[in-house]
Structure 1
């Protein structure tokens, strides 16, 4: 119980600190303080209960030890006095040995308390470690050596829970190699879910996704994901140097290659302004960087990996117009001879795509180039009018 309370306190602190701006913006300081106070009070009571039990066990063990010693001395003394079975020398040796053993025996009670604490902690740890992964390789999974022809979504259905609402329904899409395919649609249309299914962050509920005709569920996760570079809206950076964050997940890259990736992502200039440049530690989750800077570091990471398949999930949505324009130029150069699946709320960044796929409520409403969709899709025309005409 004590270990559970400590875990709850840690969780409350982590949430409050990571979301401190939201807490302050909504004036919830008092609420968070009260929530923390209640949990620490529960923890205090649990610790107090544990201390009472520990303190009670010590007098009991002392009393039991005295009683055992008294019985032994009474019984042994009678045997010595009778002179028939036990000599006084043997009795003294036995009593001395018993006194020596008393302290280690009493310490077993304290050891038991420590063992119980360790068992409680171990139970919670192994509950996590023993949880089977939701996505795992098949015993006979194949190793994907490369990407040659196309990616296909074949009648794909997906639900996040077995009884939940369908997020994707009957989605069929062909993505030829070296083509740029953009997914557009309103929030909740299923765009992000579609790209998350490709690296198998989730498995499809129905249908299948294939690469060169092979179901991705029949491939090893490592060989599948090795072919992909991913830039998401929620950028994950580590409390490490800029260079190590760019080179994360890659090996044997020189500083020159890291710097070139930063240039292509329009990150080189602001990195050089740091006191230690590429050796600057950027803090947990990149807290010392702005949102746009974090985004560009993430793009540089994908560029350095140099994968045949690129996934951009709203990669430029948090950047200012100037940065987006510069990055878009770099991305256009990068996408040559690569297959790209991109999501963007700004249609201006994807109008030159080889194919634009319009999603609505988990279904594909229409697909084609920008000019084709303007002619045949009223929904797409409305999206364009809203963005380009204000």
Structure 2
């Protein structure tokens, strides 16, 4: 194998490479000039790029080990870094500068900068803008205030556990303005704490990939098990919900937000899937929503006739690109917290959230006898690529199911 220095790198080829006692060797890719894999005597395989700097100096830099990175992920990173070379930059020098970072705050900034440029991958793809915004919030509001000045290479598991419980206990809780009329309520709780630790773990994994660290101190942190949300609305509670919703729409300025909440109940969609729904996403002929950005990627989501009627009513009432436009400005409705609170207070609920409506939708579908596979397709779950498989071949099955489920829910709401 060492004599054949250039080949088409494939997973099968990588798996077949065997170590040579006493020395390492490299196999370079035929398709991406300067990209290859190095095999050490120990059997460890790592991805590299080689290039020349602007002053003619040849350099090699490691992208990460095989196993930490898949071949496709490594190729994406190689193209990005070789693109930097073409632009006159030196990826190797950039990595050296990164290794000089001393604090968690500096490491977080480097992670975020690379994430914005598409070099930090999640499920094989660059992170979405909305995910990056959430990461930024957790970094600035939880990680930096509690750990920002600490040296990242000296943190231990006990430090991470202390951080987790500090966030849980509300040590970073704050209410702050975000935009001209925006307000962020940063709260504690174990759910918030676990998500902050998960992000911190991802940042440490990034540091390991960059050669800045050897071990992830988050690895063995014991996080309490999730209490799975099982709250759903029964038939009488749907009626209470409907009465309170009608009252909010009739007596407050939250008519559009109220319709968005009703759409959530009739579709089982996630909150942001409805709030950011655009005119172009609604396919009346196909009886579906063509969502370009969801938790699990782009999807075609079946939509029942009662929900479609609401969407059609909204689109006729406004020329805005968003189905549920804000009363102020050109953007979508973003505040359903307040109308949801009004609804819950009036109906006597203290544990109902927008996600409860999604869970209730699934519960009604189950009551009607639909299979877990069909329910997963209605909700847009990613398991087994249910949604895409149905949407391309048997749209009518899920569309008919969506019609029946949303019709039952509408009758319960306005019984």
**Superposition TM-score, scaled by structure 2 size:** 0.26
TM-score computed with the length of structure 1 as normaliser: 0.27
Q: Which has the larger radius of gyration?
A: 1
